[in-house]
Amino acid sequence: MDDFTRPYWDAAAEGRLLLRRCRAEGCGAAHHYPREFCPYCWSEDVGWEPATGRATLYTWSVVHRNDLPPFGGRVPYVAAVVDLAEGPRMMTEITDCPEPELRIGMPLVVHFRGVGEAGGEDIGGAEGKGGAEGAAVAVPVFRPA
């Protein structure tokens, strides 16, 4: 987290997903991860906008071993790439769905996992279930819609 990405992390702590969108004439592309420039046309005329929190599953892999904190206590978990409704692809985690039920193209919805002071609990998401009171940081993860 730094001054540039602070709006992204503040929104996540409130249960909202933000994207960056190019404002340059003839471009208008949305992108994720947040950058200070458009990765398509290189314009620096980009701004934050709310995402719908809707996505489809592009691909996934089940992680059975990860020695890095805090992931070691979560194995096995589903690491995934999703296509956001706005266009960008995003690396994330799929929760609340057994791996055999996952399907390419399945509809997903964002929710947020609090990290730090909140201890890692679910703090809401696209369904409008509130924010992350007490969470130092929240990360977007996805579950079946």
Instruction: For residues 77 and 42, give the distance between their C-alpha atoms in angstroms, rounded to a whole number.
Output: 35
11 φ, ψ (degrees, to nearest 5): -65, -45
pLDDT per residue as tens, the chain (145 positions): 899 999 999 999 999 999 999 999 999 999 999 999 999 999 999 999 999 999 999 999 999 999 988 788 889 999 999 999 999 999 999 999 999 999 999 999 999 999 853 335 555 555 444 444 455 789 999 999 9
